[in-house]
Amino acid sequence: QVKLQESGPGLVKPSQTLSLTCSVSGGSVTSGSYYWSWIRQPAGKGLEWIGRFYNTGSTNYNPSLESRVTMSLDTSNNHFSLRLRSVTAADTAVYYCARSPYGGLKEDIFDYWGQGTLVTVSS
Amino acid sequence: DIQMTQSPSSLSASVGDRVNITCRASRTITKYLSWYQQKSGKAPKLLMYTTSSLQSGVPSRFSGSGSGTDFTLTINSLQPEDFATYYCQQSYSPPWTFGQGTKVEIK
């Protein structure tokens, strides 16, 4: 059973960089069978896909955030990371990491999620 | 981006009721529509994909229908554990987008 777990600072100052890590157990981030995504949810609001990483190094980002986002894999520790630069209060949200199958009918559908981590942007 | 619009935003229903939640895409997404259930303080859980395929372990009282731009999630005989917020998501064209959610509350 694959499990995902987000970690990182819960408080980030405006204009700084938000950095989160998603640790994966029960599966490998180097598997060619999956994409690894970040999704966020402001309090009381809906879900926003931030972007995804594939083990070849290929990334796809939401155009609304693309200029500020970087995602990467750490294969030695079996985790993947999110960096969001120049944050503002509008970036305050619960951040989830999630897995989606590569190829097939379930491609780009999020079948496993982490529990989420709240990041607050405030001075 | 493809905009996803759900209706209603919330509804009240009783245990045993049949509930319909609709999702409309701003342009065709053929069959690439999924549904998620989210309970308070928890991550979303995949219920259904490609309109009507039930995710493993999801009860058969959940069903999906539609195509193109209009889709429906139906919950037959609502159970106490079904009270939650439901989101649709399109996987037809990036960026992947979600509806704003439909909260199902106890009447």
Angstrom distance (rounded) from CA A118 to CA B56: 29
Banded pLDDT at B107 (limits 50, 70, 90):
confident
- pLDDT tens-digit map of B29-71: 999 999 999 999 999 999 999 999 999 999 999 999 999 999 9
Chain B CB contacts of A48 under 8 Å are 98
pLDDT at A86 over 90: yes
User: A with B: how many residue pairs have Cβ under 8 Å apart?
Assistant: 50
**Residues B9, A122: Cα–Cα separation, whole Å:** 30
How large is the average pLDDT for residues A107-122? 96
Which residue in A62, A105, A110 has the most chain B C-beta atoms within 10 A of its own C-beta, making it the best mutation to test that interface? A110
Q: Tokens 């944050």 sit at which residue?
A: A87
Contact call for residues A59 and A1 (beta carbons, < 8 A): no
- At B5, which helix (H) or strand (E)? strand B4-7
Instruction: Give the C-alpha separation, B107 to B95, whole Å.
Output: 36
- For residue B65, the cross-strand partners are B72
- Which pLDDT does position A56 carry in this prediction? 83
Q: Sort out which chain A residues have CB atoms less than 8 A from B35's CB and list them.
A: none
Q: In the predicted model, what is the mean pLDDT of residues A103-115? A: 92
Assess contact for B47 and B61: CB atoms under 8 A. no
* Cβ contacts of B48 within 8 Å, gap of 6 or more: B34, B35, B54, B55, B58, B62, B63, B64, B73
Q: Which pLDDT band holds residue A105 (cuts at 50, 70, 90)?
A: confident
Residue pair A17/A82 in contact (Cβ under 8 Å)? The answer is no
Can you give the pLDDT at residue A75?
81
Q: Does residue A76 surpass a pLDDT of 90?
A: no
SS3 A59: strand
The reply to whether residue B94 touches residue A108, judged by beta carbons under 8 angstroms, is yes
Q: How far apart are CA B10 and CA A2, in angstroms?
A: 32
> Would you call B45 an interface residue with chain A, using a CB distance cutoff of 8 Å?
yes
pLDDT of amino acid A18: 98
Q: Quote the tokens at residue A57.
A: 């190094």
Does A104 touch chain B if contact means CB atoms closer than 8 Å? no
Among A56, A60, A61, A87, smallest CA distance to A73 is for A56
Of A49, A60, A110, nearest to B46 by CB-CB distance is: A110
Could you tell me which residues come within 8 angstroms of residue B81 by beta carbon, excluding any fewer than 6 positions away?
none
Q: Cβ B44–A110 below 8 Å, yes or no?
A: yes
Q: What is the rounded distance in angstroms from the CA atom of residue A94 to the CA atom of residue A83?
A: 15
pLDDT of residue A103: 85
Q: How distant is the Cα of B69 from the closest Cα of chain A, in angstroms? A: 18
**Closest listed residue to residue A38, CA positions, set A86, A110, A92, A88:** A110
Inform me whether the C-beta atom of residue A49 falls under 8 Å from chain B C-beta atoms. Answer: yes
For residue A25, what pLDDT is reported?
94
Q: Which residues of A touch B100 (CB under 8 A)?
A: 45-46
Give residue B94's pLDDT band: very low, low, confident or very high (50, 70, 90): very high
Tell me the average pLDDT of chain A: 95
Query: What strands lie across the sheet with B19-25, from one edge to the other?
Result: B4-7, B19-25, B70-75, B62-67
Tell me: the pLDDT tens digits for A9-57?
A: 999 999 999 999 999 999 998 888 999 999 999 999 999 999 999 988 8
What pLDDT shows up at residue A113?
98
